[in-house]
């Protein structure tokens, strides 16, 4: 049965459940800030009731009070006060956000130096983050940065079209909730085999609508053709994480790459991430050059016992041992193809894009994949 961590009680409920059986609250699809919406709506409701009672008790006019605008939760920013969901601090699956990480300066590479407009396609049809959505789960912040750097950002549904469009400078897979099919993976493989660029952001399976032990065609392609393995785990870091929440690890520095060259000294945070493993020295294909973009802390590990995340995870022999990476890049010197693999997609969503260098990281990955700069 498919399971996912409940944002209200922290337990694992069936993926199809609409409400938490312990609290009765509706289950959020993915956003760590879903609880804020519930609290905001509850606060508005209490305010309206209180105002109405006062009006009836003190006023003779029969006109109803003016309607109250619906409250909308906002993403944390460098200038915002504390945004704290009501999860208890002991619940590791419901980390609190008691502050924000200072945003990086505007230091993304200038893609507009390239002649003309480059077209980037974001895969759709699997519940990915929407490129046109301004919701917390959307990608409008990052897309805005890309468009200001002369990129045209378009959707791509490979269940509808048999090939990747010829004008594609890169294809981005941004957090599918269901599996990318083998046929779709084959189409991506054909595109990349011709020198294309692919950016893959895949969340831990417990955050998706996929069985936690399901075979992942896209993950298998990355392992077989590129030597990059996305582990079926969740990175736990008690020593280097955002606001001390061990499932929100921070980068432990950056690898030596043009992607991260302008991000040095600014943190990136990854809210619930799986580890990305590169082949050992001399094991990968000779035509491939690997770079560890985002190393994790040397004491972080990949937890494979997902039920332990509800209590207190502890490293054992079944877990993915350190050292771990949260993101890697690979370049094929023969075909010119480029690949970036990141074990999380939520870091680039509107809810987290303004945290540290998060938005700049994805823009820099896309710029490198399309221009090499």
For the whole prediction, is pTM greater than 0.85? no
- Residues in the chain, pLDDT under 50: 1-4, 8, 28-98, 107-115
Rounded to an integer, what distance in angstroms lies between the CA atom of residue 96 and that of residue 75?
14
| Alpha helices in the chain, H assignment, sequence order | 34-58, 140-148, 182-193, 217-226, 358-371
State the CATH class of domain 111-371.
alpha beta
Write down how long the chain is: 373
Q: Is 317 exposed, middle or buried (0-12, 13-18, 19+ CB in 10 A)?
A: exposed
Exposure b/e, 296-307, CB count within 10 A at least 16 = b: bbeebbbbbebe
What integer pLDDT is reported at residue 25 of this predicted model? 52
pLDDT tens profile 122-180: 999 999 999 999 999 999 999 999 999 999 999 999 999 999 999 999 999 999 999 99
Per-residue confidence (pLDDT) for residue 110, from 0 to 100? 44
Tell me the longest C-alpha to C-alpha distance in the chain.
84
Would you call the peptide bond into 279 cis, given omega within 30 degrees of 0 as the criterion?
Answer: no
What's residue 373's pLDDT? 75
Q: What is the model's pLDDT at position 55?
A: 36
Nearest to residue 25, comparing CAs of 34, 14, 16? Answer: 34
* pLDDT score of 77: 36
pLDDT at position 286, please?
A: 81
């Amino acid at each position: 049965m498919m399971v996912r961590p409940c944002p209200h009680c922290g337990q694992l409920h069936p993926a199809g459940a609409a409400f938490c059986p312990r609290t009765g609250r509706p289950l959020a699809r993915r956003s760590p800030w879903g609880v804020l919406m519930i609290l905001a709506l509850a606060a508005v409701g209490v305010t309206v009731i209180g105002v109405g009672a006062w009006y009836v008790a003190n006023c003779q006019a029969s006109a109803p009070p003016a309607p109250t605008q619906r409250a909308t939760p906002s993403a944390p920013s460098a200038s915002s006060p504390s945004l704290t969901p009501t999860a208890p601090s002991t619940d590791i699956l419901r980390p609190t956000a008691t502050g924000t990480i200072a945003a990086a300066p505007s230091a993304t590479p200038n893609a507009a130096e390239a002649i003309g407009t480059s077209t980037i396609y974001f895969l759709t049809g699997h519940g990915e983050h929407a490129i046109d959505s301004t919701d917390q789960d959307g990608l409008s912040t990052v897309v805005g940065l890309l468009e200001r750097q002369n990129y045209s950002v378009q959707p791509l549904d490979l269940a509808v079209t048999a090939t990747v469009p010829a004008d594609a400078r890169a294809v981005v897979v941004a957090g599918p909730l269901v599996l990318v099919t083998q046929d779709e993976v084959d189409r991506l493989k054909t595109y990349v085999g011709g020198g294309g660029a692919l950016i893959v952001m895949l969340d831990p399976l417990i955050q998706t609508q996929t069985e936690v032990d399901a075979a992942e065609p896209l993950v298998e392609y990355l392992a077989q053709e590129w030597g990059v393995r996305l582990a079926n785990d969740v990175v736990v870091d008690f020593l280097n994480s955002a606001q001390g929440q061990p499932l929100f690890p921070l980068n432990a520095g950056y690898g030596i790459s043009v992607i991260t060259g302008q991000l040095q000294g600014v943190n990136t945070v990854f809210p619930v991430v799986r580890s990305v493993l590169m082949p050992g020295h001399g094991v990968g294909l000779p035509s491939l050059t690997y770079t560890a973009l985002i190393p994790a802390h040397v004491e972080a590990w990949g937890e494979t016992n997902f039920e332990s995340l509800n209590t207190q995870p502890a490293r054992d022999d079944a877990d993915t041992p350190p050292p771990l990476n949260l993101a890697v890049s690979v370049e094929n010197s023969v075909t010119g193809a480029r690949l970036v693999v990141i074990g999380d997609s939520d870091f680039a969503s509107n809810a987290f894009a303004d945290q540290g260098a998060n938005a700049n990281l994805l823009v820099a990955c896309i710029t490198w994949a399309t221009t090499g700069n």
